Amino acid sequence: MDNQHTHDNAGVVQEFGALAPVRIGLPEQTRSQSVRALNRLLAHTMALRDAYKKAHWQTSGANFYELHLLFDKHYEEQVAIMDAIAERIQTLGGVTFALAGDIAGESSIARAPRGRESAPAQLERLAAAHETILLDARPLARAAADAGDDGSNDLIVSQVVRANELQSWFIGEHLARQAERG
C-alpha cells in the first residue's frame, strides 16, 4: 500500500493545504484562511452543480421542458462560479479541491437519492443547497474583508452570494407556482 501511495504522489509539486509563495500583498495566514474558506465554497458549489445536472437529466412532469432548461442554465452558472473560486484559490497560492470524494467529505449539502425525484422534491433539495451556500458564504465574505482580503470578499459577494440568491429566488418561484397548482 505504501508503494502505491508513494507512486500516486510521485509527481505532486504542491501538497494540498500548502501555500505556494505569491506576491499579492497578503500575509500567509490571511491567504491560508481564505483558501480554506474558498475550498469549502468550492465543494458546496461543485455539489450544487452536480445536483443541478442530476435534476436536469431526471426531471419529468408537466413542467419538464421549463425545468429542464432552467436546471441546465443554473448548472452552467455554477460551473462559472466554480472556475472563479478555483482561480482565486490558485491566485492565493493554494490548491483546490477537485475530486468527488473530497467534495463529498467537505460539503454539507445533502446528496440526492440515486432514483428519480419528483419536480417539487428536486426544487426543495436545490433551494436547501442554495441556502447552505448562502449561510456559509456571507460570514466567509465578512471574514475575508476583516482580514484585508478584498479580492476574496469581492468574489464571494459579487459572484457566489449574488448568483445563489438569484438562483434560489428562481427555484422559490417555481416551488410557489407548483404549490398554487396543488
What is the predicted pLDDT for the residue at 156?
98
Q: Report how far residue 137's alpha carbon sits from residue 145's, in angstroms, rounded to the nearest whole number.
A: 12
Q: Does residue 168 belong to any structural domain of this protein?
A: yes
What is the predicted pLDDT for the residue at 112?
86
Query: Can you give the CATH number for the domain in which 72 is found?
Result: 1.20.1260.10
Backbone phi and psi for residue 128, each to the nearest 5 degrees, phi listed first: -65, -40
The total number of structural domains that make up the chain: 1
Q: Does residue 5 belong to any structural domain of this protein?
A: no
Q: Give every residue of the chain whose pLDDT is below 70, as ranges.
A: 1-8, 182
What is the predicted pLDDT for the residue at 5?
53
Q: Please list, in sequence order, all residues whose beta carbon lies within 8 angstroms of the beta carbon of residue 155, skipping any fewer than 6 positions away.
A: 38, 84, 85, 88
What is the predicted pLDDT for the residue at 2?
47
What is the predicted pLDDT for the residue at 62?
84
User: What's the whole-model pTM score?
Assistant: 0.91
Q: Which residue range(s) make up the domain with 38?
A: 30-108+116-181
Q: Report how far residue 2's alpha carbon sits from residue 158's, in angstroms, rounded to the nearest whole number.
A: 44
Q: Does residue 104 belong to any structural domain of this protein?
A: yes
Q: Does residue 22 belong to any structural domain of this protein?
A: no
What is the predicted pLDDT for the residue at 9?
72
> What pLDDT digit, counting tens, does each position of 148-173 carry?
999 999 999 999 999 999 999 999 99
| Cβ-contact 163, 41 below 8 angstroms | no
Q: Does residue 23 belong to any structural domain of this protein?
A: no
Backbone phi and psi for residue 16, each to the nearest 5 degrees, phi listed first: -60, 135
What is the predicted pLDDT for the residue at 35?
98
Q: Does residue 135 belong to any structural domain of this protein?
A: yes
C-alpha cell at position 180: 398554487
Q: Does residue 12 belong to any structural domain of this protein?
A: no
Q: Does residue 58 belong to any structural domain of this protein?
A: yes
